A and B are shown apart, each in its own frame.
Chain A
Amino acid sequence: MATVTGASGAGETGARWRARARCGLGMMIGAALAAALWTAPAAAADVEAANALVEDTAAQILDLAASEASDLEKRQSFEALLNETADVARIARLTIGRPWRGLTDSQKADYQAALIPFAANRFVKSFGDFKGGSVRYKSSTTTKVRDEERVLVRTIGRRPASAEATDILWVVTELEGRPVFYDVRIENLSLVVQLKNEMSGYLSSVGGDFDKLVALLRESTA
Protein backbone atom coordinates (compact mmCIF):
# COMPACT_ATOMS: atom_id res chain seq x y z
CA MET A 1 0.00 0.00 0.00
CA ALA A 2 1.28 3.53 -0.84
CA THR A 3 2.77 5.61 2.02
CA VAL A 4 1.54 9.19 2.34
CA THR A 5 4.59 11.51 2.81
CA GLY A 6 3.19 14.99 2.06
CA ALA A 7 0.31 16.90 0.55
CA SER A 8 1.59 16.89 -3.01
CA GLY A 9 3.12 13.54 -2.60
CA ALA A 10 -0.09 12.34 -1.10
CA GLY A 11 -2.08 13.74 -4.05
CA GLU A 12 0.31 12.18 -6.57
CA THR A 13 0.35 8.82 -4.78
CA GLY A 14 -3.46 8.91 -4.40
CA ALA A 15 -3.93 9.66 -8.11
CA ARG A 16 -1.55 6.86 -9.01
CA TRP A 17 -3.36 4.53 -6.61
CA ARG A 18 -6.75 5.47 -8.10
CA ALA A 19 -5.36 4.95 -11.59
CA ARG A 20 -4.04 1.55 -10.55
CA ALA A 21 -7.35 0.72 -8.88
CA ARG A 22 -9.23 1.69 -12.05
CA CYS A 23 -6.82 -0.34 -14.07
CA GLY A 24 -7.18 -3.29 -11.66
CA LEU A 25 -10.97 -3.00 -11.70
CA GLY A 26 -10.92 -2.81 -15.47
CA MET A 27 -8.73 -5.89 -15.63
CA MET A 28 -11.03 -7.76 -13.24
CA ILE A 29 -14.11 -6.85 -15.27
CA GLY A 30 -12.26 -7.77 -18.44
CA ALA A 31 -11.19 -11.09 -16.93
CA ALA A 32 -14.74 -11.80 -15.76
CA LEU A 33 -16.12 -10.96 -19.19
CA ALA A 34 -13.45 -13.06 -20.83
CA ALA A 35 -14.23 -15.92 -18.49
CA ALA A 36 -17.93 -15.60 -19.21
CA LEU A 37 -17.31 -15.47 -22.94
CA TRP A 38 -14.90 -18.37 -22.64
CA THR A 39 -17.14 -20.65 -20.54
CA ALA A 40 -20.48 -19.96 -22.23
CA PRO A 41 -19.65 -21.68 -25.53
CA ALA A 42 -17.91 -24.50 -23.65
CA ALA A 43 -21.00 -25.21 -21.52
CA ALA A 44 -23.21 -25.07 -24.60
CA ALA A 45 -20.88 -27.49 -26.35
CA ASP A 46 -21.07 -29.88 -23.37
CA VAL A 47 -24.85 -29.89 -23.50
CA GLU A 48 -24.78 -30.43 -27.23
CA ALA A 49 -22.32 -33.29 -26.84
CA ALA A 50 -24.52 -34.83 -24.14
CA ASN A 51 -27.61 -34.50 -26.32
CA ALA A 52 -25.78 -36.06 -29.26
CA LEU A 53 -24.57 -38.94 -27.07
CA VAL A 54 -28.10 -39.66 -25.83
CA GLU A 55 -29.75 -39.40 -29.23
CA ASP A 56 -27.12 -41.59 -30.82
CA THR A 57 -27.17 -44.18 -28.00
CA ALA A 58 -30.99 -44.35 -27.93
CA ALA A 59 -31.10 -44.82 -31.72
CA GLN A 60 -28.48 -47.58 -31.55
CA ILE A 61 -30.35 -49.38 -28.76
CA LEU A 62 -33.65 -49.23 -30.65
CA ASP A 63 -31.94 -50.52 -33.81
CA LEU A 64 -30.38 -53.29 -31.78
CA ALA A 65 -33.69 -54.19 -30.13
CA ALA A 66 -35.43 -54.31 -33.51
CA SER A 67 -32.71 -56.43 -35.13
CA GLU A 68 -33.06 -60.15 -35.84
CA ALA A 69 -30.08 -60.96 -33.62
CA SER A 70 -30.44 -63.46 -30.77
CA ASP A 71 -30.83 -62.23 -27.18
CA LEU A 72 -27.21 -63.18 -26.50
CA GLU A 73 -25.93 -61.28 -29.56
CA LYS A 74 -28.02 -58.25 -28.61
CA ARG A 75 -26.67 -58.30 -25.10
CA GLN A 76 -23.08 -58.59 -26.29
CA SER A 77 -23.54 -55.74 -28.77
CA PHE A 78 -25.05 -53.60 -26.07
CA GLU A 79 -22.20 -54.45 -23.69
CA ALA A 80 -19.81 -53.02 -26.27
CA LEU A 81 -22.00 -49.93 -26.64
CA LEU A 82 -22.22 -49.54 -22.87
CA ASN A 83 -18.43 -49.70 -22.51
CA GLU A 84 -18.15 -46.99 -25.13
CA THR A 85 -20.89 -44.61 -24.00
CA ALA A 86 -21.25 -45.16 -20.24
CA ASP A 87 -19.04 -44.78 -17.17
CA VAL A 88 -19.17 -48.48 -16.35
CA ALA A 89 -16.62 -48.25 -13.53
CA ARG A 90 -18.78 -45.68 -11.80
CA ILE A 91 -21.92 -47.75 -12.29
CA ALA A 92 -20.13 -50.70 -10.66
CA ARG A 93 -19.03 -48.57 -7.68
CA LEU A 94 -22.45 -47.02 -7.19
CA THR A 95 -24.27 -50.34 -7.26
CA ILE A 96 -22.15 -51.64 -4.38
CA GLY A 97 -21.88 -48.47 -2.29
CA ARG A 98 -19.96 -48.45 0.96
CA PRO A 99 -18.69 -52.08 0.87
CA TRP A 100 -16.76 -51.13 -2.29
CA ARG A 101 -13.99 -49.73 -0.08
CA GLY A 102 -13.33 -53.12 1.49
CA LEU A 103 -12.93 -54.97 -1.79
CA THR A 104 -9.62 -55.97 -3.32
CA ASP A 105 -8.74 -54.71 -6.80
CA SER A 106 -9.30 -58.19 -8.15
CA GLN A 107 -12.78 -58.38 -6.57
CA LYS A 108 -13.66 -54.97 -8.01
CA ALA A 109 -12.57 -56.06 -11.47
CA ASP A 110 -14.45 -59.36 -11.18
CA TYR A 111 -17.60 -57.61 -10.04
CA GLN A 112 -17.48 -55.04 -12.83
CA ALA A 113 -16.90 -57.79 -15.39
CA ALA A 114 -19.90 -59.75 -14.01
CA LEU A 115 -22.21 -56.76 -13.54
CA ILE A 116 -21.93 -55.22 -16.99
CA PRO A 117 -23.41 -58.17 -18.93
CA PHE A 118 -26.18 -58.37 -16.32
CA ALA A 119 -26.90 -54.63 -16.56
CA ALA A 120 -26.66 -54.71 -20.35
CA ASN A 121 -29.27 -57.45 -20.49
CA ARG A 122 -31.62 -55.55 -18.19
CA PHE A 123 -31.08 -52.36 -20.13
CA VAL A 124 -31.46 -53.71 -23.64
CA LYS A 125 -34.58 -55.69 -22.71
CA SER A 126 -36.20 -52.70 -21.00
CA PHE A 127 -35.48 -50.56 -24.04
CA GLY A 128 -36.64 -53.36 -26.29
CA ASP A 129 -40.18 -52.52 -25.17
CA PHE A 130 -39.90 -49.35 -27.24
CA LYS A 131 -38.95 -51.14 -30.45
CA GLY A 132 -41.30 -50.09 -33.21
CA GLY A 133 -41.96 -46.96 -31.18
CA SER A 134 -39.62 -44.07 -30.57
CA VAL A 135 -37.32 -42.35 -28.09
CA ARG A 136 -37.07 -38.65 -28.87
CA TYR A 137 -35.12 -35.78 -27.35
CA LYS A 138 -37.23 -33.33 -25.34
CA SER A 139 -34.98 -31.04 -23.30
CA SER A 140 -31.76 -30.84 -21.32
CA THR A 141 -30.61 -29.04 -18.21
CA THR A 142 -27.32 -28.77 -16.39
CA THR A 143 -26.76 -29.34 -12.71
CA LYS A 144 -23.72 -29.30 -10.46
CA VAL A 145 -23.27 -31.85 -7.69
CA ARG A 146 -20.10 -31.93 -5.58
CA ASP A 147 -18.18 -29.82 -8.11
CA GLU A 148 -19.22 -32.08 -10.95
CA GLU A 149 -21.16 -30.76 -13.92
CA ARG A 150 -23.94 -33.06 -15.08
CA VAL A 151 -26.25 -32.76 -18.02
CA LEU A 152 -29.72 -34.21 -17.54
CA VAL A 153 -31.10 -35.11 -20.95
CA ARG A 154 -34.83 -35.75 -21.03
CA THR A 155 -36.23 -37.97 -23.78
CA ILE A 156 -39.77 -39.17 -24.39
CA GLY A 157 -40.29 -42.82 -25.20
CA ARG A 158 -43.36 -44.14 -26.96
CA ARG A 159 -44.14 -47.81 -27.11
CA PRO A 160 -45.78 -49.11 -30.26
CA ALA A 161 -49.59 -49.30 -30.00
CA SER A 162 -49.63 -47.20 -26.86
CA ALA A 163 -50.44 -43.52 -26.65
CA GLU A 164 -48.83 -43.10 -23.26
CA ALA A 165 -45.56 -41.22 -23.19
CA THR A 166 -42.71 -42.51 -21.03
CA ASP A 167 -40.33 -40.05 -19.46
CA ILE A 168 -36.70 -41.18 -19.85
CA LEU A 169 -33.97 -39.14 -18.20
CA TRP A 170 -30.27 -39.69 -18.91
CA VAL A 171 -27.61 -38.49 -16.48
CA VAL A 172 -24.54 -37.48 -18.49
CA THR A 173 -21.15 -36.41 -17.24
CA GLU A 174 -17.65 -36.21 -18.65
CA LEU A 175 -14.97 -38.88 -18.49
CA GLU A 176 -11.51 -38.25 -19.93
CA GLY A 177 -12.85 -35.42 -22.06
CA ARG A 178 -15.78 -37.29 -23.59
CA PRO A 179 -19.44 -37.38 -22.56
CA VAL A 180 -20.64 -40.56 -20.88
CA PHE A 181 -23.88 -41.45 -19.14
CA TYR A 182 -24.02 -43.33 -15.87
CA ASP A 183 -27.70 -43.55 -15.12
CA VAL A 184 -31.01 -43.73 -16.93
CA ARG A 185 -34.30 -43.09 -15.20
CA ILE A 186 -37.39 -44.52 -16.81
CA GLU A 187 -40.49 -42.91 -15.26
CA ASN A 188 -38.38 -41.75 -12.30
CA LEU A 189 -37.04 -45.25 -11.75
CA SER A 190 -33.24 -45.14 -11.72
CA LEU A 191 -31.46 -48.06 -13.33
CA VAL A 192 -28.48 -47.61 -10.99
CA VAL A 193 -30.55 -47.33 -7.79
CA GLN A 194 -32.55 -50.34 -8.92
CA LEU A 195 -29.37 -52.34 -9.56
CA LYS A 196 -27.91 -51.24 -6.24
CA ASN A 197 -30.97 -52.39 -4.28
CA GLU A 198 -31.09 -55.64 -6.22
CA MET A 199 -27.37 -56.31 -5.63
CA SER A 200 -27.84 -55.58 -1.91
CA GLY A 201 -30.63 -58.17 -1.86
CA TYR A 202 -28.47 -60.83 -3.54
CA LEU A 203 -25.49 -60.00 -1.33
CA SER A 204 -27.67 -60.36 1.76
CA SER A 205 -29.03 -63.69 0.50
CA VAL A 206 -25.49 -65.12 0.25
CA GLY A 207 -24.53 -63.93 3.72
CA GLY A 208 -22.54 -60.95 2.47
CA ASP A 209 -20.07 -63.16 0.58
CA PHE A 210 -18.97 -60.94 -2.27
CA ASP A 211 -17.41 -63.73 -4.33
CA LYS A 212 -20.71 -65.63 -4.22
CA LEU A 213 -22.51 -62.54 -5.52
CA VAL A 214 -20.10 -62.42 -8.46
CA ALA A 215 -20.68 -66.15 -9.08
CA LEU A 216 -24.48 -65.58 -9.03
CA LEU A 217 -24.21 -62.80 -11.59
CA ARG A 218 -21.95 -64.85 -13.84
CA GLU A 219 -24.32 -67.79 -13.66
CA SER A 220 -27.33 -65.66 -14.61
CA THR A 221 -25.65 -64.34 -17.76
CA ALA A 222 -23.79 -67.52 -18.73
Chain B
Amino acid sequence: MMSFSAAIRMAAIGAVALGLSACATNSPENAALGINDPYENSVNRSIHSFNKGFDRYALRPVSQGYDAVTPGLFRLLISNALNHLEAPRDFANHILTAEFESAGRTLLRFAVNTTVGAGGLLDPATDFELEKEDADFGKTLAVWGAGEGVYYEIPFLGPSTVRHTAGRVVDLALAPTSYLGEPLIAGGVAAVAAVEARDDNLGAIDSVLYDSPDSYIAVRSFYLDARRAFVTNGESQNLDDLEDF
Protein backbone atom coordinates (compact mmCIF):
# COMPACT_ATOMS: atom_id res chain seq x y z
CA MET B 1 0.00 0.00 0.00
CA MET B 2 1.19 3.48 -0.77
CA SER B 3 2.51 5.69 2.02
CA PHE B 4 -0.73 7.53 2.60
CA SER B 5 0.62 10.21 4.92
CA ALA B 6 3.41 11.09 2.52
CA ALA B 7 0.98 11.37 -0.37
CA ILE B 8 -1.38 13.51 1.70
CA ARG B 9 1.51 15.76 2.74
CA MET B 10 2.68 16.29 -0.82
CA ALA B 11 -0.88 16.76 -2.07
CA ALA B 12 -1.50 19.35 0.63
CA ILE B 13 1.65 21.23 -0.34
CA GLY B 14 0.57 21.11 -3.96
CA ALA B 15 -2.93 22.27 -3.15
CA VAL B 16 -1.62 25.16 -1.06
CA ALA B 17 0.76 26.07 -3.84
CA LEU B 18 -1.98 25.98 -6.44
CA GLY B 19 -4.19 28.03 -4.14
CA LEU B 20 -1.44 30.57 -3.63
CA SER B 21 -0.78 30.81 -7.34
CA ALA B 22 -4.41 31.56 -8.00
CA CYS B 23 -4.33 34.84 -6.10
CA ALA B 24 -0.72 35.91 -6.61
CA THR B 25 0.61 38.96 -8.42
CA ASN B 26 4.16 38.91 -9.68
CA SER B 27 6.39 41.98 -9.42
CA PRO B 28 7.38 43.70 -12.70
CA GLU B 29 11.07 43.18 -11.80
CA ASN B 30 10.67 39.41 -11.44
CA ALA B 31 8.45 39.26 -14.53
CA ALA B 32 11.22 40.98 -16.50
CA LEU B 33 13.58 38.21 -15.37
CA GLY B 34 11.15 35.52 -16.54
CA ILE B 35 10.44 34.48 -12.95
CA ASN B 36 7.01 34.07 -11.37
CA ASP B 37 7.77 34.73 -7.70
CA PRO B 38 4.96 36.82 -6.21
CA TYR B 39 5.64 35.68 -2.63
CA GLU B 40 9.31 36.57 -2.55
CA ASN B 41 9.05 39.11 0.24
CA SER B 42 5.92 37.94 2.04
CA VAL B 43 6.70 34.23 2.56
CA ASN B 44 9.50 32.85 0.43
CA ARG B 45 12.47 34.68 1.92
CA SER B 46 11.41 33.60 5.44
CA ILE B 47 11.12 29.95 4.38
CA HIS B 48 14.46 30.29 2.61
CA SER B 49 16.10 31.51 5.84
CA PHE B 50 14.60 28.53 7.66
CA ASN B 51 15.82 26.09 4.98
CA LYS B 52 19.28 27.65 4.99
CA GLY B 53 19.45 27.22 8.76
CA PHE B 54 18.27 23.63 8.40
CA ASP B 55 21.02 23.01 5.86
CA ARG B 56 23.70 24.73 7.92
CA TYR B 57 22.92 22.99 11.21
CA ALA B 58 21.43 19.66 10.14
CA LEU B 59 21.58 18.48 6.51
CA ARG B 60 25.12 19.63 5.68
CA PRO B 61 26.76 18.34 8.89
CA VAL B 62 24.87 15.04 8.63
CA SER B 63 25.92 14.59 4.99
CA GLN B 64 29.54 15.36 5.89
CA GLY B 65 29.36 12.90 8.78
CA TYR B 66 27.84 10.31 6.46
CA ASP B 67 30.69 10.91 4.02
CA ALA B 68 33.31 10.62 6.77
CA VAL B 69 32.11 7.47 8.51
CA THR B 70 30.76 5.34 5.67
CA PRO B 71 33.18 3.45 3.42
CA GLY B 72 33.15 4.37 -0.27
CA LEU B 73 31.90 0.93 -1.28
CA PHE B 74 28.93 1.18 1.06
CA ARG B 75 28.03 4.62 -0.32
CA LEU B 76 28.33 3.27 -3.85
CA LEU B 77 25.92 0.42 -3.07
CA ILE B 78 23.45 2.85 -1.46
CA SER B 79 23.73 5.19 -4.44
CA ASN B 80 23.08 2.29 -6.84
CA ALA B 81 20.08 1.11 -4.82
CA LEU B 82 18.57 4.61 -4.73
CA ASN B 83 19.02 4.94 -8.47
CA HIS B 84 17.44 1.54 -8.98
CA LEU B 85 14.35 2.58 -7.03
CA GLU B 86 13.85 5.45 -9.48
CA ALA B 87 13.61 3.12 -12.48
CA PRO B 88 9.78 2.77 -12.41
CA ARG B 89 9.45 6.56 -12.28
CA ASP B 90 11.93 7.05 -15.14
CA PHE B 91 10.30 4.33 -17.26
CA ALA B 92 6.72 5.57 -16.78
CA ASN B 93 7.64 9.16 -17.57
CA HIS B 94 9.64 8.22 -20.66
CA ILE B 95 6.54 6.39 -21.89
CA LEU B 96 4.28 9.33 -21.06
CA THR B 97 6.51 11.69 -23.05
CA ALA B 98 6.81 9.24 -25.97
CA GLU B 99 10.55 8.75 -25.38
CA PHE B 100 10.24 5.07 -26.21
CA GLU B 101 13.92 4.41 -26.84
CA SER B 102 14.79 5.85 -23.43
CA ALA B 103 11.95 3.82 -21.91
CA GLY B 104 13.34 0.67 -23.54
CA ARG B 105 16.86 1.33 -22.28
CA THR B 106 15.52 2.09 -18.79
CA LEU B 107 13.60 -1.19 -18.76
CA LEU B 108 16.64 -3.11 -19.95
CA ARG B 109 18.81 -1.36 -17.40
CA PHE B 110 16.34 -2.29 -14.67
CA ALA B 111 16.32 -5.94 -15.78
CA VAL B 112 20.12 -6.15 -15.92
CA ASN B 113 20.67 -4.50 -12.54
CA THR B 114 17.90 -6.52 -10.87
CA THR B 115 19.35 -9.83 -12.06
CA VAL B 116 23.09 -9.49 -12.65
CA GLY B 117 23.36 -6.48 -10.34
CA ALA B 118 22.19 -8.18 -7.14
CA GLY B 119 18.79 -6.56 -7.04
CA GLY B 120 20.13 -3.11 -7.91
CA LEU B 121 22.99 -2.90 -5.41
CA LEU B 122 25.43 -3.15 -8.28
CA ASP B 123 25.25 -1.33 -11.59
CA PRO B 124 26.59 -3.55 -14.38
CA ALA B 125 24.11 -1.93 -16.79
CA THR B 126 26.27 1.21 -16.97
CA ASP B 127 29.15 -0.94 -18.23
CA PHE B 128 26.83 -2.10 -21.02
CA GLU B 129 26.26 1.57 -21.92
CA LEU B 130 22.81 1.58 -20.37
CA GLU B 131 23.27 4.81 -18.42
CA LYS B 132 20.53 6.09 -16.15
CA GLU B 133 18.20 8.44 -18.02
CA ASP B 134 16.30 10.62 -15.56
CA ALA B 135 12.68 11.56 -16.11
CA ASP B 136 9.98 12.78 -13.76
CA PHE B 137 6.36 13.80 -13.90
CA GLY B 138 7.23 17.49 -13.63
CA LYS B 139 9.03 17.13 -16.95
CA THR B 140 6.12 15.14 -18.36
CA LEU B 141 3.75 17.96 -17.43
CA ALA B 142 6.09 20.43 -19.15
CA VAL B 143 6.17 18.29 -22.30
CA TRP B 144 2.38 18.18 -22.22
CA GLY B 145 2.33 21.98 -22.20
CA ALA B 146 1.71 22.79 -18.52
CA GLY B 147 3.23 26.08 -17.42
CA GLU B 148 5.88 26.27 -14.73
CA GLY B 149 3.64 28.16 -12.31
CA VAL B 150 4.61 30.07 -9.22
CA TYR B 151 8.05 29.62 -7.66
CA TYR B 152 8.26 29.03 -3.91
CA GLU B 153 10.32 27.35 -1.23
CA ILE B 154 8.93 24.45 0.78
CA PRO B 155 10.17 23.97 4.35
CA PHE B 156 12.77 21.15 4.47
CA LEU B 157 12.28 20.31 0.77
CA GLY B 158 13.71 23.51 -0.73
CA PRO B 159 12.82 25.33 -3.93
CA SER B 160 9.98 24.21 -6.19
CA THR B 161 7.31 25.39 -8.60
CA VAL B 162 3.64 24.45 -8.83
CA ARG B 163 4.39 22.14 -11.76
CA HIS B 164 7.31 20.48 -10.04
CA THR B 165 5.33 19.95 -6.83
CA ALA B 166 2.43 18.40 -8.74
CA GLY B 167 4.97 16.17 -10.48
CA ARG B 168 6.47 15.10 -7.14
CA VAL B 169 3.04 13.97 -5.94
CA VAL B 170 2.59 11.70 -8.96
CA ASP B 171 6.20 10.46 -8.78
CA LEU B 172 5.56 9.47 -5.19
CA ALA B 173 2.92 7.07 -6.47
CA LEU B 174 5.53 5.59 -8.83
CA ALA B 175 8.07 4.98 -6.07
CA PRO B 176 8.27 1.33 -4.94
CA THR B 177 8.86 2.46 -1.34
CA SER B 178 5.35 3.97 -1.31
CA TYR B 179 3.92 0.46 -1.46
CA LEU B 180 5.83 -1.09 1.43
CA GLY B 181 3.03 -0.21 3.84
CA GLU B 182 5.62 1.13 6.25
CA PRO B 183 5.92 4.94 6.27
CA LEU B 184 9.11 4.83 8.34
CA ILE B 185 10.94 2.89 5.63
CA ALA B 186 9.74 5.24 2.90
CA GLY B 187 10.71 8.23 5.02
CA GLY B 188 14.09 6.70 5.80
CA VAL B 189 14.83 6.09 2.13
CA ALA B 190 13.84 9.69 1.32
CA ALA B 191 16.10 10.98 4.11
CA VAL B 192 19.07 8.89 2.90
CA ALA B 193 18.45 10.13 -0.65
CA ALA B 194 18.51 13.74 0.57
CA VAL B 195 21.75 13.19 2.53
CA GLU B 196 23.31 11.42 -0.47
CA ALA B 197 22.32 14.21 -2.84
CA ARG B 198 23.70 16.88 -0.48
CA ASP B 199 26.95 14.96 -0.13
CA ASP B 200 27.31 14.44 -3.89
CA ASN B 201 26.82 18.15 -4.55
CA LEU B 202 28.55 19.55 -1.48
CA GLY B 203 30.68 22.14 -3.27
CA ALA B 204 28.09 23.25 -5.81
CA ILE B 205 25.39 23.76 -3.18
CA ASP B 206 27.81 25.42 -0.75
CA SER B 207 28.90 27.96 -3.35
CA VAL B 208 25.30 28.86 -4.20
CA LEU B 209 24.05 28.91 -0.61
CA TYR B 210 26.99 30.39 1.30
CA ASP B 211 29.22 32.28 -1.16
CA SER B 212 26.61 34.39 -2.95
CA PRO B 213 25.71 38.03 -2.38
CA ASP B 214 22.06 37.02 -1.89
CA SER B 215 21.49 33.31 -1.35
CA TYR B 216 17.75 33.58 -2.01
CA ILE B 217 18.36 34.95 -5.51
CA ALA B 218 21.22 32.49 -6.09
CA VAL B 219 19.15 29.44 -5.08
CA ARG B 220 16.13 30.57 -7.09
CA SER B 221 18.25 31.24 -10.16
CA PHE B 222 20.17 27.96 -9.84
CA TYR B 223 17.03 25.90 -9.24
CA LEU B 224 15.04 27.42 -12.12
CA ASP B 225 17.98 27.12 -14.52
CA ALA B 226 18.58 23.50 -13.53
CA ARG B 227 14.89 22.57 -13.80
CA ARG B 228 14.46 24.37 -17.11
CA ALA B 229 17.59 22.72 -18.49
CA PHE B 230 16.23 19.35 -17.39
CA VAL B 231 12.73 19.69 -18.84
CA THR B 232 13.98 21.14 -22.14
CA ASN B 233 16.94 18.74 -22.47
CA GLY B 234 19.25 21.75 -22.40
CA GLU B 235 17.40 23.92 -24.94
CA SER B 236 16.80 26.64 -22.32
CA GLN B 237 20.56 26.94 -21.92
CA ASN B 238 21.34 27.80 -25.51
CA LEU B 239 24.26 30.21 -25.49
CA ASP B 240 23.50 31.32 -29.02
CA ASP B 241 20.46 33.10 -27.64
CA LEU B 242 22.78 35.35 -25.67
CA GLU B 243 23.94 38.18 -27.81
CA ASP B 244 27.67 38.63 -27.75
CA PHE B 245 28.39 42.32 -27.39
Q: Complex: how many Å from CA A94 to CA B102? A: 34
Q: B202-220 interface mask toward A, CB cutoff 8 Å, 1 = contact, 0 = none?
A: 1110111001111001101
Q: Complex: how many Å from CA A163 to CA B86? A: 14
Tell whether, in the assembled complex, residue A188 and residue B233 are in contact, meaning their CB atoms are under 8 Å apart.
Answer: yes
Report the minimal beta-carbon distance from B57 to chain A, rounded to whole angstroms. Answer: 20
Tell whether, in the assembled complex, residue B242 and residue A163 are in contact, meaning their CB atoms are under 8 Å apart.
Answer: no
B233 nearest in chain A by CB position: A188
Q: Which residues of A contact B240 (CB under 8 A)?
A: 145
Q: A83-96 interface mask toward B, CB cutoff 8 Å, 1 = contact, 0 = none?
A: 00000001001101
Q: Complex: how many Å from CA A192 to CA B221? A: 12
Within 8 A of A (CB), among B55-112: 72-73, 75-76, 79-80, 83
A97 sits at the interface (CB 8 A): yes
Within 8 A of B (CB), among A53-111: 65, 90, 93-94, 96-98, 100-101
Q: Which residues of B contact A165 (CB under 8 A)?
A: 126, 131
Report the minimal beta-carbon distance from B65 to chain A, rounded to whole angstroms. Answer: 15
Tell whether, in the assembled complex, residue A185 and residue B29 are in contact, meaning their CB atoms are under 8 Å apart.
Answer: no
Choice from A128, A188, A194, A197 contacting B234 with Cβ under 8 Å: A188
Q: Which residues of A contact B225 (CB under 8 A)?
A: 189-190, 193-194, 197
Q: Complex: how many Å from CA A124 to CA B211? A: 12
Q: Complex: how many Å from CA A220 to CA B211? A: 6
Within 8 A of B (CB), among A150-193: 159-165, 171, 183, 185, 187-190, 192-193
Choice from B76, B214, B234, B244 contacting A202 with Cβ under 8 Å: B214
Most chain-B Cβ atoms within 10 A of its Cβ — which of A94, A98, A163, A200? A163
Q: Which residues of A contact B131 (CB under 8 A)?
A: 165
Report the minimal beta-carbon distance from B202 to chain A, rounded to whole angstroms. Answer: 6
Q: Complex: how many Å from CA A163 to CA B244? A: 38
Tell me the interface secondary structure of chain B in the complex: helix
Q: Complex: how many Å from CA A127 to CA B203? A: 8
Q: Which residues of B contact A200 (CB under 8 A)?
A: 33
Q: B120-145 interface mask toward A, CB cutoff 8 Å, 1 = contact, 0 = none?
A: 00010010000110000000000000
Tell whether, in the assembled complex, residue B204 and residue A197 are in contact, meaning their CB atoms are under 8 Å apart.
Answer: no
Q: Which range holds the interface residue count of chain B?
A: 35 or more
Q: Which residues of B contact A90 (CB under 8 A)?
A: 244
Q: Complex: how many Å from CA A196 to CA B208? A: 14
B200 sits at the interface (CB 8 A): yes
Q: Complex: how many Å from CA A121 to CA B245? A: 25
B32 sits at the interface (CB 8 A): yes
Question: A125-B204, A188-B237 given. 17 additional CB < 8 A pairs?
Answer: A93-B244, A96-B245, A125-B206, A125-B211, A127-B203, A161-B72, A161-B76, A189-B225, A190-B229, A193-B242, A194-B221, A197-B224, A198-B217, A198-B222, A200-B33, A201-B220, A204-B29
